[in-house]
Amino acid sequence: MNVFLQQVVNGLSIGSIYALMSVGYSLVYSIMNFSNFAHGGVIMIGAYLGYFCLTQLGVPFILAIIMTAIGAGLLAVSIERIVYSSLRKRNAPSLYFLISAMGASIFLENIIIASPIGPTFRSYPAIFSSTPIMLGNTALSRIDLLMFIISFISLILLIFIIEKTKIGLSIRATAFNIKGSTLMGVNVDKVIFIIFLLGGLLAGIAGMLFGMKYTVYPQMGEITTKSFIAAVFGGLGSLPGAVIGSILLGLIETMSSAYISSQYRDLIAFTLLIFILIVKPTGLMGKSTEDKA
C-alpha cells in the first residue's frame, strides 16, 4: 500500500508538469488546428533561462520563475510572428504549420548546441532542502510539492483567464468558430497572440520546474512528446482534457515503473497513444474537426 501511495504522489507530481506543457499544445490546437511541436523548444529555452537566472544573475527563486515565464512567453510569440503569421495570411494547409513547427524546434535546439552554452548537461543549484516531507509512510520531496503547487496555481490562473475575462471569451469564441467570431468583431490576430503568450508563459514555468527536478540539456524539448501524448489522450483542443490526460499519463508511467519495469515506461506511453488514436482519435474530451495536423 505504501508503494502504491508513493507512486500516486510521484504520478501527480510529473503529471502536473505534463499538464503545464500539454495545455500549450491544446491552446494552439483549439484555434489553429495543428500540433505546435516548437513548444518543446520553448520549454527547453525556459529551462535554460531559469538556470541562468539562478546561477548567473543570482535572483530570488520567485523572480527567476517570473523572468523565465516572460522570456519563454516572448519567445513563443516571436515564433508565431516570424514562422506562422505569414502562413496564416496565405491560408496555408495545416501540414505546412506542422513542418514549420518541427523546423523551429530543431533550430532552437541547435542554436543552443552551437552557442557557448553547448551540449553540456547542467544541474540547477540546490534551492530547497533534500529532506523529504513525510506523510505517514509516504515520502514527498520538496521539489515535487513545489512542482505540484506551482502547476496548480498556474492552471487555476489560466482557467480564470479563459473563463472569466473578456479575452478569454474571445479565445473560446474563436476556438468554437473562427470565421463566425471574425464576423462578430473578434480580433483573431490578437487572440492568436494571446494564446501563444499564455502557452509560452506556462512552457517557461514547466521547463524551469522540469530542469530543477532533472537536468537541463538541449534535447530536453523531446520530453514534450509525453505531454503531446497527454494532450491527445485528453483530447487535443480541450484544456480540461489536457490536464486530465496529463495526470493520468503521469500515474500510468509511475505505476508501470513500480509494478512492471521502468524500461517499459516509454513503451507503455506510446502504446497508449496508438491505442487512443485507434479507439477514440478525438481523445477523452476532444471534438472532431477537419484538416488537423
The reply to whether 284 falls in a domain is: no
State whether the Cα torsion 225-230-232-233 is positive or negative.
positive
Tell me, what amino acid is at 280?
K
60 vs 216: CA distance, rounded Å? 19
176 vs 137: CA distance, rounded Å? 47
pLDDT per residue as tens digits for the range 64-115 = 999 999 999 999 999 999 999 999 888 888 889 999 999 999 999 999 999 9
Q: What is the pLDDT of residue 285?
A: 75
pLDDT per residue as tens digits for the range 207-255 = 999 999 889 999 988 888 888 888 888 887 788 888 998 999 999 888 8
The reply to whether 131 falls in a domain is: no
The reply to whether 256 falls in a domain is: yes
86 vs 83: CA distance, rounded Å? 7
Count of domains observed in the chain:
1
Q: What is the pLDDT of residue 47?
A: 96
The reply to whether 121 falls in a domain is: no
3-state percent breakdown (helix, strand, coil) of the chain, nearest 5: 75, 5, 20
Q: What is the pLDDT of residue 291?
A: 46
The reply to whether 125 falls in a domain is: no
Q: What is the pLDDT of residue 67?
A: 97
The C-alpha cell that represents 96 in the structure block: 505546412
Q: What is the pLDDT of residue 41?
A: 94
The reply to whether 185 falls in a domain is: yes
The four Cα atoms 21, 269, 223, 200 give a dihedral, to 10 degrees, of -10
Q: What is the CATH number of the domain that holds 265?
A: 1.10.3470
The reply to whether 133 falls in a domain is: no
Q: Could you tell me which of 136, 122, 144 has the C-alpha nearest to residue 44?
A: 122
For residue 275, pLDDT beyond 70 = yes
Averaged confidence pLDDT in the chain: 88
Q: What is the pLDDT of residue 30?
A: 86
**Which of the four pLDDT bands, split at 50, 70 and 90, describes residue 45?**
very high
**Which of the four pLDDT bands, split at 50, 70 and 90, describes residue 286?**
low
Question: What percentage of the chain exceeds 90 in pLDDT?
Answer: 45
Question: What percentage of the chain exceeds 70 in pLDDT?
Answer: 97
The reply to whether 126 falls in a domain is: no
β-pairing, 133-135 vs 138-140, is antiparallel
Q: Which domain holds residue 173?
A: 2-116+142-279
Ordered DSSP codes for 179-210:
HHHHHTT--HHHHHHHHHHHHHHHHHHHHHHH
Question: Residue 235: which region, alpha, beta or left (left: phi > 0; alpha: psi -120 to 50)?
Answer: left
The stretch 22-26 carries a mean pLDDT of: 88
Tell me, what amino acid is at 167?
I
**Which of the four pLDDT bands, split at 50, 70 and 90, describes residue 287?**
low
The stretch 145-163 carries a mean pLDDT of: 90
